[in-house]
Amino acid sequence: MDAINLVFAVHNHQPTGNFDHVFEDVYQKSYKPFLEVVEKFPSIKVTQHYTGILLEWLISHHPEFIEKLKYAIARGQVELLTGSYYEAILSIIPPRDRIHQIEKLTNYITDIFDYHPKGMWLAERVWEQAIAKEISEAGVNFLPIDEAHFMYAGLQEDALYGYYTTEEQGRLVNIFPGSKKLRYTIPFAPVEETINWLRSKATVAGKRIAVFADDGEKFGAWPNTYQHVYENKWLENFFTALVENNEWIKTIHFAKAVNNIAPVGKIYLPTASYPEMLKWALPFESAQNFEEFENELKHHQLERYEVFVRGGYWRNFLAKYPEANWMHKKMLRVSNKIQHSEDQGNNVDEAKQFLLAGQCNDAYWHGVFGGLYLPNLRHPVYRSLIQAENLIDKIEDKKISIEVIDFDCDGQMEVIVESPASNVYIKPDMGGAIFEYDHKPKQLNILDIVSRRPEASHRKLLQKNLSPDQTKESNLHEFLIYDKYQHGSLIDHFFDENTSVDDFLKMNYSERGSFVFGKYDVRSYKKNKTAIIELVHDGTVNYENTISKIQLIKKIFISHKSSEITVEYKLINQESKPLKLRFGVEWNYGLMAGDAPDRYYEAAGIGLTDRRLKSIGSLSNITKLSLVDEWLKIRVELETEKPAEFWRCPVETVSLSEGGLEKVYQSSMVIPVWNIELIDNWQIQITQRIFDI
Is 234 in the same domain as 308? no
Q: Taking residues 174-185, report their average pLDDT.
A: 97
Contacts of residue 129, Cβ cutoff 8 Å, sequence gap at least 6: 166, 168, 268, 269, 271
Is 492 in the same domain as 597? yes
120-121 and 78-83 as β-strands: parallel, antiparallel, unpaired? parallel
Residue at a domain's end among 253, 280, 312: 312
Measure CA 622 to chain center: 38
Report if residue 152 sits inside a domain: yes
Name the nearest CA neighbour of 382 among 354, 405, 404, 408: 354
pLDDT at residue 466 is higher than 70: no
Is 173 in the same domain as 149? yes
CATH number, domain containing residue 646: 2.70.98.10
Across the chain, mean pLDDT equals 95
DSSP state of 31: I
pLDDT of 469 reads: 67
Residue 510, classed as helix, strand or coil, is: coil
DSSP 457-509: HHHHHHTT---GGGBSSTTGGGG----SS---BSEEEE--TT--HHHHHTT-S
CA dihedral 153, 154, 158, 160 (to 10 degrees): 0
Q: Taking residues 663-682, report their average pLDDT.
A: 96
Contacts of residue 632, Cβ cutoff 8 Å, sequence gap at least 6: 442, 444, 591, 592
Report if residue 593 sits inside a domain: yes
Is 306 in the same domain as 386? no
Residue at a domain's end among 365, 398, 431: 398
Among 79, 87, 97, 124, which one carries the catalytic annotation? 124
Q: Taking residues 3-24, report their average pLDDT.
A: 95
Decide if 469 is catalytic: no
Q: What is the pLDDT of residues 424-455, one digit of tens each?
A: 999 999 999 999 999 999 999 999 999 999 99
Distance CA 263, CA 269 (A): 15
Q: What is the pLDDT of residues 42-67, one digit of tens each?
A: 999 999 999 999 999 999 999 999 99
Report if residue 100 sits inside a domain: yes
Distance CA 618, CA 409 (A): 38
Residue at a domain's end among 232, 251, 267: 267
Is 394 in the same domain as 484? no
- Hey, CA dihedral for 98, 100, 106, 109, is it positive or negative? negative
pLDDT of 237 reads: 98
Is 261 in the same domain as 195? yes
Distance CA 107, CA 87 (A): 15
Provide the percentage of residues in the chain whose pLDDT is more than 90.
Answer: 86
pLDDT of 461 reads: 81
Q: Taking residues 308-322, report their average pLDDT.
A: 91
Distance CA 325, CA 314 (A): 12
pLDDT at residue 304 is higher than 80: no
- Given pLDDT bands bounded at 50, 70 and 90, which one contains residue 468? low
> ω before 177 within 30° of 0 (cis)?
no
Among 39, 157, 167, 215, which one carries the catalytic annotation? 215
The answer to whether the CB of 640 falls within 8 A of the CB of 618 is no
Is 308 in the same domain as 359? no
pLDDT at residue 645 is higher than 90: yes
Report if residue 261 sits inside a domain: yes
Decide if 124 is catalytic: yes
Report how many domains make up the chain: 4
Q: What is the pLDDT of residues 270-288, one digit of tens each?
A: 999 998 899 999 988 888 7
DSSP 46-71: EEEEE-HHHHHHHHHH-HHHHHHHHH
Range of the domain at 372: 317-398
Distance CA 401, CA 565 (A): 15
Q: Taking residues 561-568, report their average pLDDT.
A: 93
Report if residue 190 sits inside a domain: yes
Is 549 in the same domain as 620? yes
Is 209 in the same domain as 305? no
Is 234 in the same domain as 293? no
- Given pLDDT bands bounded at 50, 70 and 90, which one contains residue 296? confident
Distance CA 179, CA 6 (A): 11
pLDDT of 660 reads: 80
Report if residue 129 sits inside a domain: yes
Residue 397 backbone phi and psi in degrees, to 5: 50, 60
pLDDT at residue 103 is higher than 70: yes
Residue 512 backbone phi and psi in degrees, to 5: -90, -10
Report if residue 601 sits inside a domain: yes
Name the nearest CA neighbour of 360 among 54, 146, 60: 54
Q: What is the pLDDT of residues 516-537, one digit of tens each?
A: 999 999 999 999 899 999 999 9
Q: What is the pLDDT of residues 155-164, one digit of tens each?
A: 999 999 999 9
Q: Taking residues 548-568, report their average pLDDT.
A: 95
Distance CA 132, CA 166 (A): 8
pLDDT of 465 reads: 66
Is 134 in the same domain as 45? yes
DSSP 316-333: GHHHH-HHHHHHHHHHHH
Report if residue 405 sits inside a domain: no
Q: What is the pLDDT of residues 195-216, one digit of tens each?
A: 999 999 999 999 999 999 999 9
Is 676 in the same domain as 578? yes
